[in-house]
Amino acid sequence: GEAMCELPKDKSDKVDWKAVRADICKLLEDDKYEKEPPGPVLVRLAWHASGTYDSATKTGGSNGATMRFTPESTDGANAGLHIARNMLAPIKDKYPNVSLADLWIFAGVTAIEEMGGPSIEFRPGRTDAPDASTVPPNGRLPDADKGQPNSTCQHIRDIFGRMGFNDQEMVALSGAHALGRCHTDRSGYWGPWTRAPTTFSNEYFRLLMEEKWSPKKTHEGKKWTGPLQYEDPTGELMMLPSDIALIQDKEFKRWVEVYAKDEDRFFKDFARAFKKLTELGVSFPEDDNILVKLKKLVLG
Ligand code: HEM
């Protein structure tokens, strides 16, 4: 018979996700962005939308798409992400049944896959907060430098520990810096981590292990006046203090070595950690299913 009290369904089951994906792919390949393809900044949007989660208070996270509101939209860590949000606005308009919260994550997942990364299971079900009442406070996203290597390592563990991640997952997630670049007008840092910043690979870990990294001194013939960052001998590639921290800490470095040698392992661990990251604080209807709960309990 009819269920006595059916859960209110969100509108995401009326969405043609294949069509949404095709439109995201069109965006990823749009000539308008030839100079700097959208993939990496879309991945950063999905990460920063999710990375505010606090497991103690169960606040923050990708549910709600709260980065539309202040103060989150003005958090220094989110500088430049309006560019990514604006790119996705026409797709939201075309598919009104897709929540922005789902779209931001789906765009990140699609970008990773289209740039050659692992496939990541995507589940819709996030809803958009109607107002700013659930916006998390600023300062929940990581800083790239806390002065001393051990303070930076502690900071990474504090921030990602707050979300519920272990050392291995922290290192795996950091591998996303194979993609994209730093912008002096966003974070103050400059340059790409790898020579193929629109290819998802384990290159970030290989470079961390194999290159000689030294503090950047000059930029385009002049003295570098930006924050401390590291460069390779060519001066073309960069690492943040928080990237270098991963080879200054024994436990972190263990995983950098594993992922530098084994790209399949990196892809597998990254896919799992990125799904976890982007689902923090989101409740999916299927999670209420007793069989799913039991399976989780047994398999972890
Ligand atoms: C870019 C810091 C972890 C993905 C950046 C930038 C900074 C930064 C400073 C440059 C922003 C700009 O100037 O445009 C950090 C720190 C982290 C961290 C301190 C942790 C300790 C992550 C994680 C991911 C990620 C976990 C994803 C799983 C990206 C991507 C970009 C980026 C894809 C490139 C964006 C673009 O090209 O526009 N990050 N990040 N980052 N980050 Fe991270």
Average pLDDT score over residue span 272-280: 98
* Segment 109-131, tens digit of pLDDT: 999 999 999 999 999 999 999 99
Domain boundaries in the chain? 11-140, 149-261
Q: How many CB atoms lie within 10 A of CB 82?
A: 13
CA distance 27 to 272: 25
CA distance 291 to 198: 40
Q: What's the chain's average pLDDT?
A: 95
CA distance 51 to 160: 8
Q: How many CB atoms lie within 10 A of CB 166?
A: 14
The terminus-to-terminus CA distance of the chain in angstroms comes to 34
pLDDT at residue 130 in the model: 97
Q: Between 4 and 257, whose confidence is greater?
A: 257
* Segment 93-113, tens digit of pLDDT: 999 999 999 999 999 999 999
Annotate 131-153 with b (16+ C-beta within 10 A) or e (fewer).
eeeebbebebbbbbbbeebeebb
* Segment 58-77, tens digit of pLDDT: 999 999 999 999 999 999 99
> What are the tokens at 173?
């997630």
Looking from the CA of residue 188, the nearest atom of ligand 1 is 13
Judge contact between 83 and 75, C-beta under 8 A.
Answer: no
ipTM of the complex: 0.99
Annotate 199-224 with b (16+ C-beta within 10 A) or e (fewer).
ebbbbbbbbbeeeebeebeeeeeeeb
Q: Give yes or no for residue 44 CB within 6 A of ligand 1.
A: yes
Question: 149-261 belongs to which homologous superfamily?
Answer: Peroxidase, domain 2 (1.10.420.10)
Query: Domain 11-140's class?
Result: mainly alpha
pLDDT at residue 90 in the model: 98
Of residues 106, 76, 89, the one with CA closest to residue 16: 106
pLDDT at residue 14 in the model: 82
Residue 229 falls in which region: left (phi positive, over 0), alpha (psi -120 to 50) or beta: beta
pLDDT at residue 1 in the model: 36
Percent of the chain at pLDDT > 70 equals: 96
pLDDT at residue 285 in the model: 78
Average pLDDT score over residue span 192-212: 98
CA of 179 to the centre of ligand 1 (A): 9
Percent of the chain at pLDDT > 90 equals: 90
Atom 22 (ligand 1): residue with closest C-alpha? 174
Catalytic residue among 48, 104, 155, 190: 48
pLDDT at residue 98 in the model: 97
* DSSP annotation of 73: G
Q: How far is CA 38 from CA 89, 208, 267, in A?
A: 14, 25, 21
